[in-house]
Amino acid sequence: MLPKTQILGLYKLLLREANKFSSYNFRNYALRKIRDNFKENKSIKGDNIELYLNEAKRNLEVIKRQVIIGRMYDTDKLVIEHEKSMKR
């Protein structure tokens, strides 16, 4: 069985990588999906944990690749992103 610190580390790493998306829509979708999946699967025990963690690791690799591709085709920020930066 994997320790909680390793699971939380993977969760934080996924969130950190998802925050690197330059696209507001992709970023918010990925963050929401990561949070929802971890909340949904928090009660899983036994051998199933490793299956879900392996899937999360594969998703982390996908996110890393997509962030790189997204940077190659960067676009202007959306209006909603400008409003948030003005309020700060």
What is the span of the domain harbouring residue 67?
4-87
DSSP string computed for 18-74: HTT-SSHHHHHHHHHHHHHHHHHTTT--TTHHHHHHHHHHHHHHHHHHHHHHHHHT-
In the chain, the number of structural domains is 1
Gap between the Cα atoms of 50 and 29, Å rounded: 24
**Mean per-residue pLDDT of the chain:** 87
Percent of the chain with pLDDT over 90: 50
Task: Indicate whether 40 pLDDT > 60.
Answer: yes
